[in-house]
């Protein structure tokens, strides 16, 4: 890594405080997850040597720091409960994959018949199930489900939306179906929350705060967008807030590139250059239209600033981004796009990591040099080289764990130095990792199967591992939950719990 200037003001992160007071690698019997508590008897003991007093005071201070750290980490979305030892199987469901996770429920999808099933997160007991009709699609909605709100902090799923999806085109002519509706289900119980009528086939459904926005066709083939307030009680029905008809025909939108995207204050719907709608009123906002941009992604940085990056008509990245200060000050233009982990504790707020493309091909494919910049000024701090194939996964206490290209690498976010690295054989689909703030958990190949491996965040030392047998021989995905680790593959889903 090449060094740079002093840090400034930027990304959020957190890891563990180092290996010094952690238990050794778990090779014995699995233990129930627990927070480490060391109690000290401070009063009533004779002080026999000054060195003993000093040691005890330092240890107590360490414990207070750890307690404070744990309390801070408890508020970080996406962190697992403490994992002190190897996990054990709590339940499994064959042939079903994780579609979404709620606070108390896991929504599973069975690909052979596209059936959605809600199961109790902790027991695996089936709570509800719903088949999907041939002309229907169902998707889960959460506060981060819209393209404009990437799941950097995965929000629990709240609703399931089922509707007849537009898919009928003859030549260049759209064939409009009969009037239909969107059925909204409670993801926890499977109970119907509301029914939203539409004049014809549905193009998309997204959450907008406590409401939903629905894009559909009308009987003339035009795109109609409406916002609906959901019922607040059992005797209420969904209430229409506003409706807007788009001027562009669907054929032009479909040829150029479709977008249906909730941003902070506007709804981008249509195609490149389409006039966005005010999210609150539905009124067109021509001043917010942008040529050459299909949609924009955004993430909030520590301190409230927002980083944004654009995608073009082909839904390819443009390779540039910008930081919008929380106080409305001057926008900082950046050469590169944010390289952000899925889970972060907000540590090292003076550093923002980017991938900086060196060509249009790099920009379109999300490749390029990894650099750290000061988000307040845009000044470069350090460079990590291209780090080809590597993805940022979790960041805690200023340590970022990345994986891909046959290895796991931990970086010091402040300096760019490599803290530790280790070669691995196959780490699942697109790399995924989970953390409890002390260990980072990844899947690795072991012979014909996979193994779940927990490494110390500060040192990379393997603390424990759990063989997954033949499950996920073709790749697995990891999903964190308050109950443990969900391992999902084409074979089915397993919850591994402390």
CB contact at 8 A, 401 and 459 = no
Class of residue 241 by CB neighbours under 10 A (exposed 0-12, middle 13-18, buried 19+): middle
Averaged pLDDT, 378-396: 93
What are 60-94's pLDDT values in tens digits?
A: 887 788 777 777 777 677 788 888 889 999 999 99
| Greater pLDDT, 441 or 290 | 441
CB contact at 8 A, 370 and 336 = no
Averaged pLDDT, 177-190: 92
Q: How far apart are CA 240 and CA 217, in angstroms?
A: 17
Here the tokens at position 297 are 């992604």
Least confident interval from 124-138, 139-153, 265-279, 325-339: 139-153
| Greater pLDDT, 144 or 100 | 100
Phi-psi region of 325 (alpha: psi -120 to 50; beta: other; left: phi over 0): beta
Q: Return the exposure string of 324-341: e unless at least 16 CB atoms fall within 10 Å of the residue's CB, then b.
A: bbeeeeeebebebbbbbb
Q: How far apart are CA 357 and CA 363, in angstroms?
A: 5
CATH architecture label of 153-293? Beta Barrel (2.40)
Q: Considering only CA atoms, which of 76, 127, 5 is closest in space to residue 480?
A: 76
pLDDT of res. 144: 54
pLDDT of res. 195: 95
pLDDT band at 385 (very low <50, low <70, confident <90, very high): very high
Class of residue 141 by CB neighbours under 10 A (exposed 0-12, middle 13-18, buried 19+): buried
% helix / strand / coil in the chain, to the nearest 5? 10, 45, 50
Interstrand relation of 180-186 and 173-174 (parallel, antiparallel or unpaired)? unpaired
Q: Considering only CA atoms, which of 79, 102, 145, 80 is closest in space to residue 343?
A: 79
Q: Is the pLDDT of residue 146 over 50?
A: no
Q: How far apart are CA 248 and CA 276, in angstroms?
A: 12
Q: How far is CA 491 from CA 86, 118, 452, 453, 477, in A?
A: 22, 18, 16, 20, 11
Q: How far apart are CA 10 and CA 378, in angstroms?
A: 10
Domain coordinates of the chain in residue numbers? 153-293
Nearby residues of 88 by Cβ (< 8 Å), 6 or more positions away: 30, 466, 496, 497, 498
Q: How far apart are CA 203 and CA 213, in angstroms?
A: 11
In this structure, is the dihedral angle defined by the CA atoms of residues 419, 425, 431 and 433, taken in order, positive or negative? negative
pLDDT of res. 153: 38
pTM of the predicted protein model: 0.76
The contacts found for 285-293 with CB under 8 angstroms, 24 or more apart, are: 293/318
Residue 63 has φ and ψ, to the nearest 5°, of: -65, -40
Phi-psi region of 475 (alpha: psi -120 to 50; beta: other; left: phi over 0): left
Averaged pLDDT, 436-455: 86
What are 479-497's pLDDT values in tens digits?
A: 888 888 998 888 889 999 9
Here the tokens at position 496 are 């591994």
Here the tokens at position 258 are 């479709």
Q: How far is CA 405 from CA 337, 388, 443, in A?
A: 21, 7, 14
What are 353-382's pLDDT values in tens digits?
A: 999 998 888 877 778 999 999 999 999 999
């Amino acid at each position: 890594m090449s060094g740079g200037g002093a840090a400034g003001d930027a990304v959020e992160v957190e890891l563990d405080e180092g290996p010094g007071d952690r238990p050794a690698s778990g090779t014995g019997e699995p233990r129930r997850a627990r927070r480490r508590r060391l109690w000290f008897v401070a009063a009533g003991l004779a002080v026999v040597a000054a060195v003993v007093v000093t040691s005890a005071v330092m240890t107590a201070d360490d414990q207070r720091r750890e307690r404070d750290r744990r309390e801070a980490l408890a508020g970080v979305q996406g962190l697992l409960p403490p994992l002190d030892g190897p996990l054990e199987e709590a339940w499994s469901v064959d042939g079903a994959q994780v579609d979404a996770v709620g606070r108390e429920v896991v929504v599973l999808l069975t690909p052979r018949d596209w059936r959605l099933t809600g199961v109790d997160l902790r027991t695996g007991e089936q709570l509800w199930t719903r088949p999907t009709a041939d002309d229907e699609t169902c998707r889960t909605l959460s506060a981060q489900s819209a393209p404009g709100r990437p799941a950097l902090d995965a929000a629990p799923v709240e609703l399931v939306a089922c509707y007849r999806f537009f898919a009928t085109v003859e030549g260049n002519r759209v064939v409009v179906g009969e009037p239909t509706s969107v059925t909204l289900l409670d993801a926890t119980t499977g109970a119907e929350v509301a029914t939203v009528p539409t004049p014809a086939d549905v193009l998309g459904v997204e959450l907008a705060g406590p409401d939903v926005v629905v894009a559909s066709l009308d009987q003339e083939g035009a795109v109609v967008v409406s916002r609906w307030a959901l019922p607040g009680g059992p005797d209420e029905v969904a209430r229409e807030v506003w409706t807007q008809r788009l001027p562009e025909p669907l054929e032009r939108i479909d040829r150029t590139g479709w977008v249906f995207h909730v941003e902070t204050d506007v709804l981008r719907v249509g195609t490149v250059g389409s006039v966005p709608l005010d999210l609150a009123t539905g009124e067109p906002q021509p001043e917010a239209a942008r040529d050459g941009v299909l949609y924009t992604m955004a993430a909030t940085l520590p301190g409230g600033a927002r980083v944004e990056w654009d995608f073009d008509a082909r839904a390819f990245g443009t390779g540039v981004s910008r930081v919008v200060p929380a106080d409305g000050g001057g926008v900082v233009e950046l050469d590169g796009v944010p390289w952000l982990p899925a889970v972060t504790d907000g540590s090292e707020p003076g550093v923002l990591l980017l991938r900086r493309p060196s060509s249009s091909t790099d920009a379109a494919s999300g490749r390029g040099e990894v650099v750290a910049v000061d988000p307040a000024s845009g000044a470069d701090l350090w460079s990590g080289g291209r780090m080809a194939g590597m993805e940022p996964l979790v960041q805690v206490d200023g340590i970022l764990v990345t994986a891909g290209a046959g290895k796991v690498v931990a970086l010091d976010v402040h300096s760019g130095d490599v803290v530790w690295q280790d070669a691995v054989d196959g780490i699942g689909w697109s790399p995924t990792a989970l953390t409890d703030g002390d260990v980072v958990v990844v899947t690795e190949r072991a012979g014909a199967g996979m193994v779940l491996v927990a490494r110390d965040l500060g040192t990379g030392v393997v603390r424990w591992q759990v063989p997954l047998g033949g499950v996920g021989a073709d790749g697995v995905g990891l999903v964190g939950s308050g109950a443990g680790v969900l391992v999902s593959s084409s074979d089915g889903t397993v919850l591994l719990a402390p």
